[in-house]
Amino acid sequence: METKEILNKKVGNTEQPRSTVSPAKVKIASVVIKEKNKDGVAMKTPLLQFFVKHPEKEELIVLSKVKFIDGDKAIAQGFWVQTDEDGNFYKGSAIDRVLTVLGCKTIEETYGKEIDTVTESKDSPYLCLKAY
């Protein structure tokens, strides 16, 4: 396609398909702690990111939220690294919920474990780790 042709293109009526994957059981490959935002600025609270192998993808995908049941509500929450006065993750935190479901005591113990995923909500097709 020539430059002139591209410059004269209009927007059509067809939306671009989303490249999402279906909820499935995934295998945790690694975990990264994100300490800077996309602009390279240090984040006040670091974010844990799980790199997982999904059966529909060749490459690893990144998940940074968990969905769990709290009372009668399903909640999706990010893996913010917040610790108590003893330096441990807070009980009931997003990280605690995943560790509990996997039967692990530390993040490192999650490597190689399998866990289900679920969509975040009807409005957000992105996957979260499932902790219920």
Give residue limits of the domains in the chain: 22-130
pLDDT digits (tens, 9 = 90+) for 94-116: 999 999 999 999 999 999 999 99
**Which pTM value belongs to this model?**
0.83
How far is Cα 93 from Cα 27, in angstroms, rounded to an integer?
21
Question: Is residue 80 over pLDDT 80?
Answer: yes
Distance between CA atoms of residues 22 and 20, nearest Å: 7
pLDDT in tens, 40-73: 999 999 999 999 999 999 999 999 999 999 999 9
pLDDT of residue 11: 83
Q: The tokens 């295998």 sit on which residue?
A: 27
pLDDT over 90 at 17, yes or no: no
